[in-house]
Every structure is written in structure tokens, then in C-alpha cells.
Amino acid sequence: MPRGPGRRVGNLPVPMTSFVGRDWELGETRRILRDERLLTLVGVGGVGKTRLATQLGAGTARTFPGGAWLVDLAPLRNGMGLLDAVSASIGLGPGDAAAVAAHLDRTNALLVLDNCEHLLTDCVRLVTDLLQLTSTTRILATSRQPLGMLGEHVFEVKPLELPEQPIGSPRHLMTFGAIRLFVDRAHSAVPGFALSPATATKVAAVCTHLDGVPLAIELTAQRLRTSSLTELLHKLDDRDLLDLSSRVAHPRQRSLRALNDWSYALCTPAERELWARLSVFEGTFGLADAQLVCQGEDIARDDVLDLLAELIDKSVVLRRDCGVEPRYRLTESIRQFGAEKLRRAGALERYRQRHAVHFAGVAEHLLDRLRDEGIPGVHRAVRRARRDFTTAAVHVVTEADFRSLDTLLRLVPVTPGQALADQLTGDYATEYAALRSAACGDVETAWDQLGAALGRHAERGDQFGLRQCIRLMAVLAWSAEDGSAVHRVTELAARMTGPGWSPLSSALAAAAHLRDDAVDAAEKLFAQALLDLRDTGDHWWLAFCLDGLIQCALVREDHSRAARLLGFWRSTWDSADAPHLGASVDPHRTRERLLRRECGDRQFAAARAAGAALSLDEVVEFATGTAPHRLDEGRLDEVRPVGGVPLTPREHRVAELVCEGLTNQAIGNALDISKRTVDAHVEHILRKLGLLRRTQIATWITHERAS
């Protein structure tokens, strides 16, 4: 249809609220929709799939001059009226798929099919017809489950970004999408509401409790008309989450209970049963955890994997890849919904008991590892299951299972705010108590505690404990930017003897030189320490050296070098299996802003991505100046594809993961393919794009996103 002056083409609803965050998702989906004919946005209920789709459609006027046409499939009970609903939405009378396809093709319009999950078979049939009858039609779908058809590009819409800990300054917290959305909606509900030092921590705690799910955040913010933030937190803790509601929302979205009822109806009886049993997990869990706790009666242990995969596919369970073993979790509203079902079936206490027994056994195993490996070896395992250890401890108290309670209390907090290792015995507990003292601002007590622990480690000749203590002292000195403290730790490390101390002494000496503005000496020692640490696998000290080299580059105003080092530092720090004060991360956000300003967004992103794609050996060569060639400088004009040869969807996904800094083995784990297959994909990508080095793949991806 022709577009008249000022006429709005399409039928997308005019938003009643502002669109907050999702800048990356908008850019990425816009790129995909440009290259693919069918894009499906999937995600848990209330995560914002429809809002992202309408925002995306509204911003594509140049690409689709015929407009974007939304078809809401939620009211349809079955597929009988699907074609008529599509025809009516785009302004046609009753007809066949050929007429719809011809109209979309002729007008160059975008078709948006919203809420496909309950009509999957019918949607697949219609979409297949529309795509086969034309060569240009683009279709954007939203669904809690992928359509599962050839040519479909699936994009997972995840909850909004949250801070790792619900603490920080208002300015820092406002960098996270979930916090910005809450503040925006709270301001609409209560004019004058703003994030302040007095409200920041409570707002972050509310958003964290709501898992960053936009609908939950919006419904909760509305309650500020009648409740304070403190009261809201209490209500959420009292399991009031499912009853959050809105009178003006779509019936399916008037409450989180209604959303979950919709998802529940899409599940088979066995899937519903597993959903209910999984609700006893408070935090993340592995496949073995789910099998051991949830097996029995109608669900055999071998059935759990397939049922779990179905719940992931239907956006009930979230999957997160964490190294070798993926972890799973339920959002809080989905977990509460499942717990209600388990309670009504009279099975809640039975599965809570199985959960408690299981995690008491896990705790006993971790304590054995703790004695053999020390705290760093088990810290990640304890941290990721801490909420479940706590839940298990509460349950065994009520059951008077004192043996299990004794085991669990060695790993979990006794009261809110206490660090996990307070429950451990000996000098390691003293070290972690020092970290808590420092985090609370009591630096003097922290130094006293670390000094006492260091002395006892030295008396016993505990080399592991000595290195751990020196590391924590380095954290304290480096975070506080205390030059005298850095020198003090350097002197302590220099007096240590035994294998492995030389690179640590070099790293600390470099830090002392940097505090004294002796940049040349500092850079040389940091590079030497990095070289010596290359084969140790000690990510924390590698990150410490990289941090020092970044600071050296900034002092020299070599911003391109700093950006590349920052890219590799991020992936190294994320692999450092040790607790920290958080101060080692925040300065890098400041440095990122500085480097973006100095380099420009595009060149900074290219340099950082190139750094993230480097191997450790390449970084060492780069840092020590021994590279046989100049490592990728992030110049975008060097990495254009040759001959216009496109990458396959799988090759493109591999290239994106290379850009994120993953090794070939990690890419294989993420995509469930062998390392050898990933090696072959990387070779094909290099050949197709006319590139010489792996690092240039990252720069090519960055250029593609920017364009």
C-alpha cells in the first residue's frame, strides 16, 4: 500500500512506556534480520520478547518500507484461524497463503508473529509456505520455544543485566539494565523517585531477587505507590512474587502466576513433574544434582536429561555454560510456581529432604577436597551452590540431623553477610576474615589478620598457605593504592624461598616500581613475570601482571596497546578461581571509558576483541616484544572478506565465540562439537575471509557488528 505524507505504515502498537536497555540485542537482531529470512526471539515468560520485537520492527522502516505488521497469536485456541488472523492483520480479507505471501513480497513488509509457542506445528506450516512462495519475505517470530524448522535463526532474549553483587554507588548500579528499568518505572509510579545512596542497595537487591526479568521488575515498581522498598523486599522474601499483578496488562501478563500458567499448559505431565521437583534448588544445579534429587516414581534417572532438555527448549529452565559442565537454574517466579505445585501434591517435604541429603553429601566431598587442595580448589564449587547449601542447612536443622548440619556449616554462612570461609577452621579462615574486614573498610584489622596467618603458615612450612596469604596481601595493597603496603608485600615475597616464588617476587617488585613511577623497570619486570608464569596456570597472578602492563601502557598513552591487553585481561580475570575485593574490576571500567574516549568506540572495540582472541603465548610475545610479527593492530581495513564469500551460520557462530575470547576447546564445549571440528571451522573462516591470524577474526566480527 502506498505511504502517504506522515502516514504510519504497519500496525505496531504505540508503546506506553520508554524502551530501556537492550542496545546490543537491538543491534544484533537487526543484523540477523538483515541476513536471515526467519528470526525467532525465544526466552522465559516476561523477559521482553514482544517488546524487543516491536522495538525492532519500529526501527526498520528503511529496510521494510511496507511496514511491520504484528499478529498476536495468544488469543487463538488452535491453528484453524491462523491464516485468517494473519490476513486480517495485514489488511487483507480471507484468503490463502499465496495471497498473503504476494502482498508481503509486493509491499516489502515485515511480518511479526507474536506468541507462537502454543501453535508451533501450525506456525511452522504457515511460515514454510510463506518463505517458499517468495524469495524476499522476512518473518520475525516470538515464542517460548523455537519453531524448530530449517532456516530458523534463534535468538535468546535473556533477563536484563544485573550487578554480580547488589551493592555499589548509584552511578555504578545505573550501568545495569535491570536497575535502570526499575528506576524508570518507579519514577513513573512515584514522581521524584531516584536512585540514591540510601536506596541503591535495596533497589539492586529487589532486581536481583527478580532475576532481572523485565515484567517482574515493572510489576514490582508499581507497588512503590503503596509500599516502601524495605516492605517490597520483605514481601518478595515471603513468596509474594507470583501475585504481583497489573490491571492494564494483557490477561496473560497481568501476573507472574498467569505467565507461568501459560508455560505450564505447554508442558507434558512428566515435564510438569520435573519442573515441580526442580523447585527445591535455590541456586544453579548440574545434571547429576537433578538426576539424584529428582529421580523416582514416574521419572527414571535416565529420563531426567531428556526432560530437562525439553524444559530448556520451552524456556522454563535456563542453561548457563560454565566450563566443562553446564549449570541450570529456574528464575525465582518459575521456582516458586513449581514449589506450589509440589506442595499441593504433598511432595514438597520429601524432595526438600532428598535435596538436603544430597547437598550434605556434596559438602562432605568438598571438605575432603578442601583438605587436599586448599580453598582455591573448591571455592568455585562452593560459591555456585552456596544458596543450596544454605537451604539444606536450614532443612537439616528442622530434622535434627546434626551430623549433616555440622558438615554443611563448615561451608555455608551462619548469618547473613558472613563470608563462606568463616565456617572453615585454621589459618585459611583467618585469611578470608581479613578479606571481609578489608571489604568493610577495616584495613588495619585486615593487615593484622593476614600477618598472623602468614606467621603460622611460615612456622608449618605451608607453601600453599604462604602463597595464598601473599596473594591476599597483594590484593589489599593494590586495591588500596597504598605504595608503602606494596613495598611491604614485595619485601615479604622476596624473603620467601622455594619453587614458584621468583615470578611472584618479580610481579610484586614491578608493582612497587610502578607506584614509584619507574615505568620502564616495572614494564620489564611485569613482562618477565608473565613469561615465568605462562605454564603455571595461575590465572590470578597472570591477571595481576596484565593489570600492571595495562597501567604502564596508559602512563605511556599507548591506548591501542592498553585496549588489547584489557581484552585478554578480562578473559584471564574471569578464569581466576579466587575471591577478591572487587576493586581490581572497577578500575577497569574507568579505563574502558577512558580508552573508548581516546580510541573511539569502533577502534577500541576492535582492539579489545583482538586482545580477547589472543592465546596466552601470543600475549606473552606481545608483552615481551618477542612476537615474530606485529600482533593484530585492530585495523579494520585489513580484515575485509575476500570475494564476498559468506560464512555458514555455524562458522559465523564459531567466529563470534572466537571474538569473545574462547579457546577452540571451550567453543567445542559450548556448541557440543569436538575440538577437531572447531579447528576445521577456524581454518575455513580464515581461508574464506582471507585472514592470516586468529586474532583478525575478532576484528572482522567487530567490524561487521559496527557496520
Confidence check: pLDDT of 571 > 80: no
Q: Note the pLDDT of residue 470.
A: 82
The proportion of the chain whose per-residue pLDDT surpasses 90, expressed as a percent, equals 23
Burial of residue 396 (CB within 10 Å: 0-12, 13-18, 19+) is: buried
* DSSP structure class, residue 466: H
pLDDT score, position 453: 82
CB of 72 closer than 8 Å to CB of 115:
yes
Mean pLDDT within 629-641: 42
Quote the cell numbers at residue 439. 571489604
Radius of gyration of the chain (CA): 28
**SS3 label, residue 320:** strand
Query: Would the pLDDT of 424 be above 80?
Result: no
User: What's the DSSP call for residue 138?
Assistant: E
pLDDT of 640 over the 50 cut:
no
Q: For residue 470, which of 486, 454, 447 has the smallest C-alpha distance?
A: 454
DSSP 8-state class, residue 643: T
3-state SS track over 208-225? HHCCCCHHHHHHHHHHHH
What pLDDT is recorded for position 2? 41
Q: Predicted confidence band at 132 (pLDDT cuts at 50, 70, 90)?
A: very high
Question: For residue 71, how far is the Cα from the chain centroid?
Answer: 31
- Reported pTM: 0.56
Q: Give the pLDDT band (50/70/90) at residue 395.
A: low
Q: What is the pLDDT of residues 497-523, one digit of tens each?
A: 666 678 888 888 888 888 888 888 889
Q: How many residues does the chain have?
A: 707
Instruction: Read off the pLDDT of residues 514-557 as tens digits, 9 standing for 90 and up.
Output: 888 888 888 989 888 888 887 666 677 788 888 889 889 888 88
CA atoms within 13 A on the CB side of 341: 21
- Report H helices in 423-578: 427-439, 443-460, 463-480, 483-494, 501-515, 519-533, 539-555, 559-574
304, pLDDT greater than 80 = yes
Supply the mean pLDDT for the chain.
79
Give the other-Cβ count within 10 Å of 124's Cβ. 16
For residue 166 the three cell numbers come to 547488589
What mean pLDDT do residues 553-574 have? 79
Cα dihedral 686, 690, 694, 700, rounded to 10, equals -110
Q: Where are the alpha helices (DSSP H) in 239-302?
A: 256-265, 269-278, 287-294
Strands 38-42 and 110-114, bridge-based pairing: unpaired
Beta-bridge mates of residue 285: 328
Mean pLDDT of 463-476: 76
Task: Count other Cβ atoms within 10 Å, centred on residue 653.
Answer: 15
pLDDT, one tens digit per residue, over 229-276 is 888 877 775 455 556 555 544 555 567 888 888 889 889 999 999 999
- Enter the C-alpha cell of residue 311: 524444559
Q: Which residue has the higher pLDDT, 494 or 449?
A: 449
